[in-house]
Amino acid sequence: MIHKIVPLQKITSAFLTAHEINLYVYRLDLNHASISGNKLYKLHYNIDAAKKENKKTILTFGGAFSNHIAASAAAGKEYGLKTIGIIRGEECQKLNPTLRFAKEQGMELHYVSRMLYKNKNELNEYISNKFGEQNYYLIPEGGSNQLGIEGCKEITKNIPINFDSICCACGTGATFTGILLSIKTNQKAIGFQVLKAENYIKNEVSTWLNQFSSAQKNWEINDVYHFGGYAKLKTELLNFIQVFEKENDVPLDYIYTGKMMFGIYDLIKKGAFKKGHTIIAVHTGGLQGNLGFEN
């Protein structure tokens, strides 16, 4: 897989000037037409491994609006692998834009009840009974495994400037962990948890760091800006996204990057960053998910 060099876009505004903050958006949303943002990095070494192990099929998991499902379907098509998507919940009569796209890319969609989806042991048994003879390569939900994190270590590689803080939105924390493992100790990684669940990402990241034998301390997880959890859109968030897009020509999604950017602006307003601070906001993509809300 080839990673295109994407723009590091400087955001200029009277607000940022007044607070003496240098803010840049790293536009990973522009890295690929259909395997957008962090998902390309998370899939990179997983696809390599599947090929190396001579697998013909990738099997993975996600909700009906999952960016990972869309990206995996597109990656399968591009790299000549069959894809099976295990989708949480009942099949709807009309496919939403995410699932329609996945299907168009050739992904075989298989729906399981929320109850079964939640029970990982039972789900794994069900899947291996049903698809076992296909000798598939399994990618966990969100593409979040060790190889996914290895891929995300490369996100910062082409950032052409020095920075003090780097921010990203966290669903599972795997992308954040990869970014964290790649920065210098005098730089800080700040993750914005999008789900409402106490210490969820903090614990996940600690577990990942252990697996990578890292004792890094230069990170924090902010869990203030989840807006009630996935897809619970608050007017304040929607307004912020609209204004941000219009002023800076940077589209944001409602689930991840919109919340991160809202959080960054609120922290700047509250004086959480020193004057002269340079912040990188990683735009992890996810714009395909907006189609589901606009319909």
Ligand X SMILES: *Cc1c(COP(=O)(O)O)cnc(C)c1O
Site residues (vs ligand X, CB under 6 A): 37-39, 67-68, 142, 144, 169-176, 253, 256-257, 284-286
CB 67 within 8 Å of CB 36: yes
Give me the residues paired with residue 62 across strands: 87
Q: How many CB atoms lie within 10 A of CB 53?
A: 9
CB of 30 to ligand X, least distance (A): 13
The minimum distance between CB 62 and ligand X, in angstroms, equals 9
Our CB check for ligand X shows the closer of 23 and 35 to be 35
- Which contiguous run of DSSP H or E holds residue 26? strand 22-27
Q: Which residue is nearest to ligand X (CB)?
A: 286
Nearest distance from C-beta of residue 168 to ligand X, angstroms = 7
With a CB cutoff of 8 Å and minimum separation 6, the contacts of 122 are 116
Q: Which is nearer to ligand X, 38 or 72 (CB)?
A: 38
> Shortest distance, CB of residue 194 to ligand X, whole angstroms?
7
Cβ 134 to ligand X shortest distance, Å: 26
Residue 246 tokens read as 């219009």
What type of residue sits at position 145? N
Whichever of 83 and 172 has its CB closer to ligand X, that residue is 172
Beta bridge partners of 191: 168, 221
What percentage of the chain's residues is helix, strand, coil (to nearest 5)?
Answer: 45, 20, 35
Please report how close the Cβ of residue 282 comes to ligand X at its closest, in angstroms: 8
Our CB check for ligand X shows the closer of 23 and 169 to be: 169
DSSP 8-state assignment for residue 91: P
Q: Which residue has the tokens 């890094």?
A: 216
The separation between CA 132 and the C-alpha centre of its own chain, rounded to angstroms, equals: 28
Our CB check for ligand X shows the closer of 176 and 273 to be: 176
Q: Please, which residue, 142 or 263, has the CB nearer to ligand X?
A: 142
